Amino acid sequence: MKRAFPILGVVTAALLSYALYEALVVAPTEATMGDVQRIFYYHVPSAWTAFLLFLINFVASVVYLIRRNTKADIVALVTAEVGVVFCTVVLITGPIWARPVWGIWWTWDLRLTLTLVLWLIYVSYLVLRRFSSSGQTPLLAAVLAVFGALDVPLVYFSIWYFRTQHPSPVIGGGGSLDPRMGRVLLINWAAFLCFAFMVCWSRYRLEHLHREVEEMQALESMLEAKSGSAS
Amino acid sequence: MSLTRATLAKDLRLEWRSKDAINSMLFFALLVVVIFSFSFDPTAEESRQIAGGLVWVAFLFAAVVALNQTWARELRNQVLDAYRVSPAPANSLFLAKAFGNFIFVSVLEVLMTPLFIVFYNLRALGPAYQLPMVAVAGTWAIVVNGTFFAAMSLRTRSREIMLPLLLFPISIPALLAMVEATTAILTGEASAKFWIVLLVAYDVVFTVGSLWLFETVLNAE
Amino acid sequence: MNYLFAAYAATWIIHVFYLTTLVRRYSRLRKEIEDLQRK
């Protein structure tokens, strides 16, 4: 297991470099938007990755609610954090793309708004994790994740209808996709998935170690107290 | 059911005597209205476009004031531990608290609405009978989740900030629906029907969700 | 300002920032483990 980590790291780095090359050099230039459209190859895979991570968070949270399994709790924490990172990337690259193409930084575009709401929900999830007392944190966080998941379809429909009432440009490219661009998109997604997996794995190991150290420290202070009272 | 009624009656009685929640909510909402009035000086036409948003933001912030003190009395008197060990269903307690908050916020809305009408020269160009429907569905949406998150925030640091922090993102679809529905009814330019249906769907989903998970939250740790 | 460059740079700045926090937390943990082992 330990040997796999650096090997996977090298593979990921290679894949990301290759994907970057594909995005900047190989992919055809878009007719109307020009080179700026290449942001698409980073913006969309980041969004898909973030959504996948949040989905895993939901599943891990449900598993925790049913089984009270510590591993599930750590997976939930890890995917929430890394998901927020990828979500932030989506929310930053979206406006950077929108500005030169449509002249506006933000529009209540369906996908971008949904991403923003998910970002807000999961940031509140992370704040809850930080601020609640350690005994009940996993449980409360899992409950919040379930509530967030219940919210997602409602968010989707509310924004969808809002947009039919107040139409605006679509960030992220609507319509059909040139298959050559589709190929580059998938390569970049594969690269970012590997990268996300590496980051999650690292974060998981860090959290596991952190909890072990906390346990040892608790044990240590208990023993000190005992020896202190005995003498 | 009887526990719900008894708890609700007790809360209403205590509130009627002290008027703590209502007074602070009322004052807060009044401040918000006045400050908004200074910030925006709209024409009657513009008023109808923005009043929906202003009204619901004011009610939302005032509701948070009420929600934050939902469990304060129980916490002060260590009543929650008694509820945990008693055989009474936790949901009765939750419903009582949620209904109590619903009544407080609704009273606030009834008192504040004439003020809004006066300050912004409001007159509904669309079907005004739909406004109470939006108010009831919307208020319940805020209150059901607010009461639930208030319980979740009980043993967190910065409890008063935790509640709105958790509540606002999850409430976004409901807030959007409330504001859009109100604006649609006031301006008469669109139909509020979809938004009202969405609000009811939201209410159903989160009432069920809260009832399902409240016991878990109550017994945490 | 080249928007394409800005977007790609922003992406990696965000990821590197997060990874830096992980590395920092890890070295702090390592120190705590050393402290515990010495005791």
Q: Residue A59 pLDDT more than 70? A: yes
Q: Residue A36 pLDDT more than 60? A: yes
Q: Residue B159 pLDDT more than 80? A: yes
Is residue A76 situated within a structural domain? yes
Q: Please provide the DSSP assignment of B150-162 as one string.
A: HHHHTTBSSHHHH
Lowest mean pLDDT among A105-109, B15-19, B59-63, B92-96: B15-19
Please give the residue range of the domain that contains residue A147.
4-28+36-204
Which neighbouring-strand residues pair with A132?
B156
- Residue ranges of the alpha helices (H) in chain A? 4-21, 40-67, 70-102, 110-131, 137-165, 179-230
Number of domains in chain A: 1
Report the pLDDT value the prediction gives residue B11, as an integer from 0 to 100: 79
> Quick one: average pLDDT of A86-106?
92
A35: exposed, middle or buried (C-beta count within 10 Å: 0-12, 13-18, 19+)?
middle
- How far is the C-alpha of B164 from the C-alpha of A130, rounded, in Å? 16
- Residue ranges of the alpha helices (H) in B40-78? 44-68, 72-76
Is residue A212 situated within a structural domain? no
Q: Residue A231 pLDDT more than 60? A: no
C7–A contact, CB cutoff 8 A: yes
Is residue A226 situated within a structural domain? no
Task: Give the residue with greater pLDDT, A12 vs B35.
Answer: A12
Report the pLDDT value the prediction gives residue A175, as an integer from 0 to 100: 62
> Quick one: average pLDDT of A161-188?
81
Residue A116, domain CATH: 1.20.120
Lowest mean pLDDT among A138-152, B25-39, B55-69, B147-161: B25-39
Report the pLDDT value the prediction gives residue B208, as an integer from 0 to 100: 96
Tens digit of each residue's pLDDT (9 = 90 or more) over A155-172? 999 999 998 888 876 765
Residues of B with CB under 8 A from a CB of A: 145, 152, 155-158, 162, 165-166, 168-170, 172-174, 176-177, 180, 190, 194-195, 198, 201-202, 205-206, 209, 213, 216-217, 220-221
How many other C-beta atoms can be found within 10 angstroms of the C-beta atom of residue B185?
26
Q: Which amino acid is at B52?
A: G
Is residue A191 situated within a structural domain? yes
Q: Residue A173 pLDDT more than 70? A: no
Report the pLDDT value the prediction gives residue A171, as an integer from 0 to 100: 65
Residue B118 tokens read as 């006066």
Report the pLDDT value the prediction gives residue B141, as an integer from 0 to 100: 97
Residues of A with CB under 8 A from a CB of C: 20, 35-36, 38-39, 42-43, 46, 81-82, 85, 88-89, 92-93, 96-97, 99-100, 195, 199, 202-203, 206, 209-210, 213, 216-217, 220
Lowest mean pLDDT among A6-15, B34-43, C22-31: B34-43
> Quick one: average pLDDT of C10-35?
95
Report the pLDDT value the prediction gives residue C1, as an integer from 0 to 100: 58
- Please enumerate in sequence order all residues whose Cβ is within 8 A of that of A133, keeping only pairs 6 or more positions apart, or say none: B155, B156, B221
Residue B160 tokens read as 């008063």
Is residue A169 situated within a structural domain? yes
Number of domains in chain C: 1
Q: Please provide the DSSP assignment of A115-162 as one string.
A: HHHHHHHHHHHHHHHHHB-TTTHHHHHHHHHHHHHHHHHHHHHHHHHH
Residue A114 tokens read as 């949904």
Task: Give the residue with greater pLDDT, B38 vs A161.
Answer: A161
ipTM above 0.95, yes or no: no
Please give the residue range of the domain that contains residue C20.
1-39
Is residue A168 situated within a structural domain? yes
Q: What is the dihedral of CA B180, B183, B187, B192, to 10 degrees?
A: 50
Is residue A215 situated within a structural domain? no
Angle, CA of A165, A33 and A182, to the nearest 5°: 90
Report the pLDDT value the prediction gives residue C7, as an integer from 0 to 100: 94
Chains A and C lie in contact, requiring 3 or more CB pairs less than 8 Å apart: yes
Give the residue extent of every domain in chain B.
2-218
Is residue A213 situated within a structural domain? no
